[in-house]
Chains A and B, each alone.
Chain A
């Protein structure tokens, strides 16, 4: 149990994030859950990169054991992707708030259902 503490924490974050995405109707909270879910994957990659007793992977006298640098590089990229996704998601939420006046999913569905046959107008979209 203790030996696998970091893996258990990773899986907890993963499942908690996914649960928030599914269980919450608030669009900002959904994005928070999504971000949590993505962050757990960063841990999944980074944890095995640590080598016990290893140093940073820079060749120097007296060091023979090095940590694996590749996961860090990969996750740097993944973090950038995560930020871009979160930023775009929040931007969409702002636009949705402008267009609908709410960011609750069930309220938006309620606003669309009675007039599903409306024309190709711009709706309440602020140009």
Chain B
């Protein structure tokens, strides 16, 4: 009975949890509610994963209404991967959050913080499970509004400006998306993604559809911070509370990438190019620009959170490159990198959050020798950094390897060289962190701090451990990513 309602439960649990957390008004109670809700949500999404693996695609009708009239939730091999990723990372973040939040947020606002975290997760999961274009917009705005609030809760006053700027850019992005969806609705008369795909097959090449695809692509690319549209991201991640930055860095952009892939493949067909719009070529150019320029910008930052944020913009480039390649290997590589990057960035942001908790600063020049007093935290940061470079033995290597194979398969030998060359830039910014943290004499901040508490180290090392584990034995995640890529490429009309 319950099992048949799993697709909607993964959203209802955090939504209900958010209401309870808001009503509780008490910091610890709100945290407990958030933790329990996240645990239930993670269990539900894992159950969903096993069901999809056993039975194939699940279609769930909200309120029992058939797709044309009602909203359909559709879970397949692709979005179940996103659902599991978001809910598991959310659970780990909640375990991590308690200590970090106590130190960073004033007591009266703690309950609101957890309310917003749960709302954000509910919105992200909603985007992932829904099969309705407009419903996706509503969930996008639920998660975005929660995100703006989370960022504004940061203790630096620049967090307010960062939140405001993200609000402006994010709203423009979401509105462009709605314009695109509106044009599609006018052309096809439906908002159900599956039905749109069926009806588009008959009317390909119409100018309204090309315009619609352009609006949707640009709108979502604003949300996923594709290279020239990324200006909101570094400040948002740097000034948000540490635990909010963990959640955002590892899930928010990933869900936007999911939505982009859903439209490019399932809705607009297996070939990324529809009619006159060379989205594939544009994506390749912008992805490569992100890999080089954003990574290079990361090298010149002093705040470790900003280094990681610019690195995120660069790493998003690898994922969108996988989408643009649009062959099974390249796409699987892109999706695998999506998962791997979420794990590594989650670990890295957890580590720097723990350092902020103990040493009170994220400025690289003040963190000299912090590895001596916080060895486990610094080691997790290092492992995540090695993953970002793509060192063999970490998961980053596996996904970049698939991407290179995909580039060669598509006949772009030069692209394979660029993937390797851009990884060298990651060596520079990770190398700077490693050098300061491990090889310098402990500075004042390092001498005054001690190892992070266990409840921070535990989730951090689950993610860092996964980075190593999936680098050595990549069979499980690579299998999931390959199944997702097959679903995307084969599911197209």
**Which of A92, A120, A127 makes the CB contact (< 8 A) with B167?**
A92
Q: How far is the CA of A88 from the CA of B155 in the complex (A)?
A: 18
Stretch at the interface among B20-28, B57-65, B175-183: B175-183
Q: C-beta contact mask, A18-59 vs B, less than 8 Å → 1, else 0?
A: 100100000100110010011001001100100000000000
Residues of A in contact, count (CB < 8 Å)? 39
Contact B163 A119 (CB under 8 A): no
> A114 at interface (Cβ–Cβ under 8 A)?
no
Contact A120 B356 (CB under 8 A): yes
Task: Look across to chain B and name the residue whose beta carbon is closest to the beta carbon of A81.
Answer: B141
Contact B138 A81 (CB under 8 A): yes
Contact A99 B167 (CB under 8 A): no
Residues of A within 8 A of B263 (CB): none
Contact count band on B: 20 to 34
Contact B157 A123 (CB under 8 A): yes
Give the one of B158, B163, B191 with max A CB within 10 A: B158
Interfacial residues of chain B within 129-162, with CB under 8 A of chain A in the complex: 134, 137-138, 141, 145, 148-149, 152, 155-158, 160-161
Contact B164 A120 (CB under 8 A): no
Residues of B within 8 A of A27 (CB): 164
Residues of A within 8 A of B152 (CB): 92, 95
> A78 at interface (Cβ–Cβ under 8 A)?
yes
B34 smallest CB distance to A (angstroms): 21
Chain A residues touching B, majority SS: helix
Contact B175 A41 (CB under 8 A): yes
Residues of B within 8 A of A31 (CB): 168
A107 smallest CB distance to B (angstroms): 11
Contact A92 B148 (CB under 8 A): yes
A29 smallest CB distance to B (angstroms): 12
Contact A34 B171 (CB under 8 A): yes
Task: Look across to chain B and name the residue whose beta carbon is closest to the beta carbon of A37.
Answer: B175
Contact B171 A41 (CB under 8 A): no
Contact B361 A119 (CB under 8 A): yes
> A84 at interface (Cβ–Cβ under 8 A)?
yes
Whether A99 contacts B175 in the complex (CB less than 8 A), given A119-B361, A127-B106, comes out as no
B220 smallest CB distance to A (angstroms): 16
Interfacial residues of chain A within 52-101, with CB under 8 A of chain B in the complex: 71, 74, 77-78, 81, 84-85, 88-89, 92-93, 95-96, 99-100
Chain B residues touching A, majority SS: helix
Task: Look across to chain A and name the residue whose beta carbon is closest to the beta carbon of B164.
Answer: A92
Q: How far is the CA of A96 from the CA of B106 in the complex (A)?
A: 18
**Which of A14, A48, A84 makes the CB contact (< 8 A) with B145?**
A84
Task: Look across to chain B and name the residue whose beta carbon is closest to the beta carbon of A34.
Answer: B171
> A4 at interface (Cβ–Cβ under 8 A)?
no
Contact A99 B182 (CB under 8 A): no
Task: Look across to chain B and name the residue whose beta carbon is closest to the beta carbon of A31.
Answer: B168
Contact A88 B149 (CB under 8 A): yes
Task: Look across to chain B and name the residue whose beta carbon is closest to the beta carbon of A92.
Answer: B164
B139 smallest CB distance to A (angstroms): 11
Q: How far is the CA of A14 from the CA of B145 in the complex (A)?
A: 22
Give the one of B138, B155, B175, B185 with max A CB within 10 A: B175
Contact B145 A95 (CB under 8 A): no
> B493 at interface (Cβ–Cβ under 8 A)?
no
Contact B134 A74 (CB under 8 A): yes
Q: C-beta contact mask, B165-202 vs A, less than 8 Å → 1, else 0?
A: 00110011001001100100110000100000000000
Contact B141 A84 (CB under 8 A): yes
Taking A27-B164, A99-B157, A120-B156 as known contacts, 6 extra A-B pairs with beta carbons closer than 8 A to each other, sorted by chain A number, are A41-B178, A41-B179, A89-B167, A117-B363, A119-B361, A121-B156
Which residues from chain A sit less than 8 Å from chain B, CB to CB? 14, 18, 21, 27, 30-31, 34, 37-38, 41, 44-45, 48, 71, 74, 77-78, 81, 84-85, 88-89, 92-93, 95-96, 99-100, 108, 112, 117, 119-125, 127
Q: Which 3 pairs show the lowest CB-CB distances between chains A and B?
A: A123-B157, A99-B157, A125-B157
> Could you list 25 A-B pairs, sorted by A, with CB under 8 Å?
A14-B179, A34-B172, A37-B172, A44-B179, A74-B191, A77-B134, A85-B141, A85-B171, A88-B145, A88-B167, A89-B167, A89-B171, A92-B160, A92-B164, A95-B160, A96-B161, A99-B157, A99-B160, A120-B361, A121-B156, A122-B155, A122-B157, A125-B155, A125-B156, A127-B106
